[in-house]
Structure 1
Amino acid sequence: MRRWLAVIATGALLTTGLTDTAVGADYRLAADNFAGSQIAAHEGVHGLPPAERYNEADQTLGHDVSGWQGAVDWPAAAGAGAKFVYVKATEGTGYVNPQFAQQYDGSRGAGLIRGSYHFARPDVSGGAAQADYFIDHGGGWTSDGRTLPGALDVEYNPYGDACYAMDPARMTGWIKDFAARYLARTGRSSLIYTSTSWWKRCTGNAGGFGNTNPLWLARYAPQIGELPAGWEKQSIWQFANAGTLPGDQNYYNGPMGRVEALARG
């Protein structure tokens, strides 16, 4: 009987296309995966915004980091103009950034508003399970006025098929499950990090998230370009994968007061 139940349980995982660490999920590349690592590889880098944008009162400069950067010199980052940062916390349901504490706590100590993000792995477990793993390993939110809501990084699969062998309906459902669980546990809507090209390809350009989940858009070009369906504006634009700040370079779409408002909720 026990063997029969185990076969049923394993079959349920396989028929949904989901696996977990117990059945051999692959995290060999996790230390190298970060927000935009696959977008740069698939979509390329096409230039930078005009330099004068750095001085515009309606844009706030920030960045994002992961274990790839190692221990970050946070006073130096703040001195170079960083006002906010997102830190990779987790990937799938089996990887935690080993530099997370240094980066997450250190950035706050230097005066930055900070948040954390989760590198989505729809191939290894369900969306709700990954939201739980993210929250339980640094991805939560607190109403201290210095913590941004968590972000879900959905981009090209570094291990194989770009859309993790999911059709648009299943991928959209997976993202909905993650977003719903994050909201239920934290009381905040997660940001969604993606590129327009990936979103079109892998969700069929699903338009159901624009009124609930702020957009963090990746596009390495002089202009932000077309947004995914459902969003009328981006909250954050990741405009370069290298620059004056450690990691990727970002603009918040508004003055510092809007960043602080997002943190307060």
Structure 2
Amino acid sequence: MKITTASGEISEYSEAKIASSLRRSGAQEHVIADILHNLRAHIHPNISTKKIYKIAFDLLQQQDGLTASRYKLKKAIYELGPTGFPFEKFIGALFENSGYHVQVGKILQGTCVSHEVDVIAETEGLKMFMECKFHSEQGKKCDVKIPLYINSRFVDLESYQLKNHSKEEVRHEGWVITNTRFTKDAIAYGQCVGLKLLGWDFPKGEGLKERIDKLGLYPITVSTLLSTREKQFLLSRDNVLCRQLLKDDFLLDQLEISKNRKKRILKEMQELIAPAKKHGKLS
């Protein structure tokens, strides 16, 4: 069966891929089997992957709301838009919870001109300059022009750092981080010049999705209990993560959410980060 991907390409329909994505979200095998069985009645030639995902998500939500929240992670990242700034804050939080000292939205001097750097992440002996390229449109890839441009900025920044902080024994890295995928040329160029790339599923096994799942750092937009208006309110208050909301639950009071509903929302947040806490990933 031929289906249409988010980028408009034609691909083969694969139950194995759907089962794998459901399994990674924590769905039990009998739930996966049931969803695949029910999906078959809806699949037709040229159906979009977006439509398939929505049906699978709805079926999963009927059986396991918490797993459905994890399953909608990719869509939840898109919902951090449209400005892209919440995405920068989210990436900063991701690296901060990985042990780095982080600064977001800083202007630094280069040899030629000054540059606004989305995220600076530092640890002993290493300083990383990160550019976040957020796409609110599904299917849009990060092409080679992006790393070409970012690398030229990084070279200017690094040359200034080496010239003016020559006594510091610090290695520098340039990064491009996106919520979508990279084209083959973008990956080839990044690898050629030593630019670090982090995309939805790149590098393999260490992509954005894997890092989020490992740390349990889910954005509040994964919630199936919060409305779009409520999510936007929380994002406007720089509350990007589920774990942040657990600490700043007074924000739910500002939204005039009832006590019973507030309790259910916070329970959802607790359960989303529970696997990472169990394995000692979160403080």
Normalized against structure 1, the TM-score is what? Answer: 0.31
Q: Based on CA coordinates, which of the two structures has the bigger radius of gyration? A: 2
Q: Per chain length, whose mean CA-contact separation is higher, i.e. which structure has more relative contact order (CA < 8 Å, sep 6+)?
A: 1
Considering fraction of residues, name the structure with more helix.
2
